[in-house]
């Protein structure tokens, strides 16, 4: 028995472990309930009475030695792992830095601003809570025009004729009433309409309004500016088409289509087989609107246009559900990376 103890002592003294697994295997071999030392203790019963004291002490000492040795091995393994710190590059970012992304509507709005800025347009804005005059009256809407109806317009309680603007054309009026032409502005902003929220409509959305007033501004100027815009935004091979339309504040008025990006005019599901996509309303500023806003309509002419940013973002990114733009689901927002 004594020699068996001595043999185990020598074995234990020389134990080495390269990693946690090896160390654990050693611990199990020697110190677990079914290990070598436990086996010695089981045999302890057969030791003659006069030797029990000496053998007992030796077994206890052996157990202590084994425990100490294994703890020591564990400690040196831990410092070995710490040594790996030396090879760490502490100047490196610890994980890919997560930057936010721009909202798709911001990206599209900034692109639109950028294009018109290069054509000499400056930015203008106005309040979202507006009075009836700037939204409708000064824009030549008749008193009984259906757009003023409660069904379209959100009226603000308390204020006489205060409402949430239903289009950014109110900013045309805000600019004209304080500016002597030449005027060349674009006005991005949020607008509100009383619509049931669905994949295709929302009670608020965003528009960009454009206004150009000067001497001798013609429909040709309007068409060239919009063609340039369309080609900058959708690509150099884009064609435009103007269809007669009606707005109280422009005369003549038109709706502008761009050739379908997907099928290039062939007809597909995006353009519903027509080859064209409608993107904005436009026209020559109605002389009455110039007069209502203090501008001499004998001397000056102008054009205006207005487009929905969501609509254009849908065409550029094929977002199927309009609600995605206002839900701020980061899985959606993360899809958009842009320099704008």
Position 230 contacts ligand PHE (CB under 6 A): no
Q: What's the chain's Rg over C-alpha atoms?
A: 40
Position 281 contacts ligand PHE (CB under 6 A): yes
Nearer to ligand PHE, 155 or 332 (CB): 155
Mark the segment that binds ligand PHE (CB under 6 A) among 13-21, 25-33, 63-71, 281-289. 281-289
Nearer to ligand PHE, 59 or 285 (CB): 285
End-to-end CA distance of the chain: 83
Q: C-alpha angle with apex 136: 305 to 230, nearest 5 degrees?
A: 10
Nearer to ligand PHE, 167 or 184 (CB): 167
Nearer to ligand PHE, 37 or 170 (CB): 170
Position 283 contacts ligand PHE (CB under 6 A): yes
Mark the segment that binds ligand PHE (CB under 6 A) among 110-118, 148-156, 271-279, 299-307. 299-307
Residue 290 in 3-state DSSP?
helix
Nearer to ligand PHE, 22 or 125 (CB): 125
Position 305 contacts ligand PHE (CB under 6 A): yes
The binder of ligand PHE chosen from 121, 234, 247, 276 (CB under 6 A) = 247
Position 301 contacts ligand PHE (CB under 6 A): no
Among the listed residues 100, 101, 98, the one whose alpha carbon sits nearest the alpha carbon of residue 338 = 101
Q: For strand 183-192 and strand 122-123, is the pairing parallel, antiparallel, or unpaired?
A: parallel
Residue closest to ligand PHE when measured from CB atoms: 306
Beta bridge partners of 192: 204
Nearer to ligand PHE, 70 or 138 (CB): 138
Q: From the CB of 147, what's the least distance to ligand PHE, in Å?
A: 9
Determine the length of the chain: 340
Position 250 contacts ligand PHE (CB under 6 A): yes
Nearer to ligand PHE, 37 or 254 (CB): 254
Q: Which of residues 2-31 bind ligand PHE (CB under 6 A)?
A: none
Residue keyed to tokens 């062939």:
266
| Cβ atoms of residues 228 and 119 within 8 Å | yes
Q: From the CB of 304, what's the least distance to ligand PHE, in Å?
A: 4
Q: From the CB of 326, what's the least distance to ligand PHE, in Å?
A: 19
List of residues 6+ apart from 335 with CB closer than 8 A: 101
Q: Give the C-alpha separation, 262 to 82, whole Å.
A: 58
What is the x/- site pattern for ligand PHE, positions 90-129, by CB under 6 A?
A: ----------------------------------------
Among the listed residues 258, 267, 265, the one whose alpha carbon sits nearest the alpha carbon of residue 234 = 258
List of residues 6+ apart from 272 with CB closer than 8 A: none
CA distances from 299 to 167, 295, 319, 331 (A): 27, 8, 45, 53
Among the listed residues 157, 51, 70, the one whose alpha carbon sits nearest the alpha carbon of residue 43 = 51
- Contact residues toward ligand PHE (CB under 6 A) are 167, 169, 209, 247, 250, 281-283, 304-306
């Amino acid at each position: 028995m004594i020699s068996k103890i001595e043999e185990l002592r020598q074995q234990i003294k020389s134990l080495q472990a390269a990693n946690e697994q090896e160390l654990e295997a050693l611990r199990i071999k020697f110190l677990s309930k079914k290990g070598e030392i436990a086996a010695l203790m089981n045999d302890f019963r057969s030791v003659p009475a006069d030797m029990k004291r000496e053998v007992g002490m030796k077994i206890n000492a052996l157990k202590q030695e084994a425990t100490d040795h294994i703890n020591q091995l564990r400690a040196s393994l831990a410092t070995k792992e710490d040594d790996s710190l030396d090879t760490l590059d502490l100047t490196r970012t610890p994980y890919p830095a997560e930057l936010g992304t721009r909202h798709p509507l911001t990206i599209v709005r900034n692109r639109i601003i950028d294009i018109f800025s290069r054509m000499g347009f400056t930015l203008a804005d106005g309040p979202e809570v507006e009075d009836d005059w700037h939204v409708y009256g000064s824009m030549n809407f008749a008193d009984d025009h259906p757009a003023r109806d409660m069904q379209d317009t959100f009226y603000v309680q308390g204020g006489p004729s205060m409402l949430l603007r239903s289009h950014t054309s109110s900013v045309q009026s805000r600019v004209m009433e304080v500016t002597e032409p030449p005027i060349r502005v674009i006005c991005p902003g949020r607008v509100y309409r009383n619509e049931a929220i669905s994949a295709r409509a929302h009670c608020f959305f965003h528009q960009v309004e454009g206004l150009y007033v000067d001497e001798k501004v013609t429909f040709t100027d309007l068409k060239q500016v919009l063609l340039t815009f369309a080609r900058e935004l959708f690509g150099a091979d884009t064609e435009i088409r103007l269809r007669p339309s009606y707005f109280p504040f422009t005369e003549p008025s038109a709706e502008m289509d761009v050739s379908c990006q997907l099928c290039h005019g062939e007809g597909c599901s995006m353009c519903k087989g027509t080859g064209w996509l409608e993107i904005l309303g436009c026209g020559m500023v109605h002389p009455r609107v110039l007069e209502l806003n203090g501008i001499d309509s004998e001397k000056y002419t102008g054009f205006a246009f207005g487009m929905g940013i969501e609509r254009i973002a849908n065409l550029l990114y094929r977002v199927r559900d309009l609600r995605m733009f206002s839900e701020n689901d980061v899985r959606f927002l993360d899809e958009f990376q842009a320099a704008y």
